[in-house]
Amino acid sequence: MIRVQLAGICSTDLQLMRGYKRGFRGVLGHEFVGEVVDAPEYPQWIGRRVVGEINVGCGECELCQRGLGKHCRSRSSLGIIRRDGAFADYLTLPVANLLTVPDAVSDEAAVFTEPLAAALQLLEQYPLRPRERVYVLGDGRLGLLVVQVLARIGAEIVALGRNDNKLAILAERGIATVRIDDRAKMTTLLAHPADLVIEVTGSPAGFELARRLVRPRGTLALKSTFADGLTHFDISSLVVDEITLLGSRCGPFAPALRLLAEDAIAVEPLIHARYPLDEGLAALHHAGQKGVLKVLITVSP
């Protein structure tokens, strides 16, 4: 059993409230840092400050046996599928899912482990090379982490968004940014489509624009999960232009913790507000407002 200390609100939490996953019922929250307070078969874990990978497979099916437990058809997922999440005093996860948080990583930084791991998953799936042209569409919580992760490779990256304050976080780190409503700059980007386009807007309209920004035989990577479906999807254009479509979600926690310990990724500027657990509804409302990045919920002081 883990006593939750701090939890983060993710766009997926907000989408679950809108009907994503066909109406999840239970305690939301999958980004957390906490302390192990009970582990009958693993007493060495008691007292450790931990984060936890969110998917729990059955361990017996073919997918689990092939190391694909996060895709297990019978899996539970913290705060998402058949498992109560982190917006509570306590949660439970198997010890195999836990990682000890290094002393150099604050609670505020540790709570970003799960989304940072999701950003790193792209590098597990796509062998990004220096000088490749990459457009990241979306300046929200995850988009800002994705851009920072990929910028470390040395690729030619442009971050696209709508909010000057969010884009400024990246511009201050020497990363090129473009506002989506800047017609002149968007015309230039569309005339020079990218090798890799990453869609992190969380909206169907973002997918349509991302498709236009990727070159023939390029790769379109999708990080968004949203309750609404795609009403207009020209699948023939993917065939004609021979586009590789790449779905990407949960990623490796250990490398994420190392980056946080090295202070290699700026996460503090992404924190916009903190609420106590008993004001969780207000926290969720705040997190859903335009322009808001990470809202944290303090559970245990």
pLDDT of the chain along its 301 residues, tens only? Answer: 999 999 999 988 998 888 876 768 899 999 999 999 999 999 999 999 999 999 999 999 999 999 999 999 999 999 999 999 999 999 999 999 999 999 999 999 999 999 999 999 999 999 998 889 999 999 999 999 999 999 998 889 999 999 999 999 999 999 999 999 999 999 999 999 999 999 999 777 888 899 999 999 999 999 987 656 666 777 888 898 999 999 998 999 999 999 999 999 999 999 999 999 999 999 999 999 988 999 999 998 7
Residue 6 confidence (pLDDT): 98
Q: In whole angstroms, give the CA distance from residue 221 to residue 230.
A: 16
Query: How confident is the model over 210-249, as pLDDT tens digits?
Result: 999 999 999 999 998 765 666 677 788 889 899 999 999 8
**How far is residue 215 from each of residues 147, 155, 162, 218, measured CA to CA in Å?**
19, 16, 23, 5
Q: Which amino acid is at 255?
A: P
Residue 18 confidence (pLDDT): 83
Point out which residues pair with 91 in neighbouring strands: 2
Query: How confident is the model over 170-199, as pLDDT tens digits?
Result: 999 999 999 999 999 999 999 999 999 999
* Cα-based torsion angle of the residue sequence 188, 192, 193, 199 in order, rounded to the nearest 10 degrees: -40
Residue 227 confidence (pLDDT): 58
113-125 vs 253-261: helix axis angle to the nearest 10?
120
Tokens of 10: 């993710």
Residue 113 confidence (pLDDT): 98
Q: Are 213 and 134 in contact (CB under 8 A)?
A: no
pTM of the model: 0.93
Residue 206 confidence (pLDDT): 85
Looking at residue 91, the DSSP 8-state letter turns out to be E
Q: Are 33 and 51 in contact (CB under 8 A)?
A: yes
Residue 29 confidence (pLDDT): 96
What does the domain layout of the chain look like in residue ranges? 2-112+267-298, 117-247
Fold classification of 2-112+267-298 is Quinone Oxidoreductase; Chain A, domain 1 (3.90.180)
CATH number attached to the domain at 117-247: 3.40.50.720
Cα Dmax for the chain: 62
> Are 2-112+267-298 and 117-247 equal in CATH topology?
no
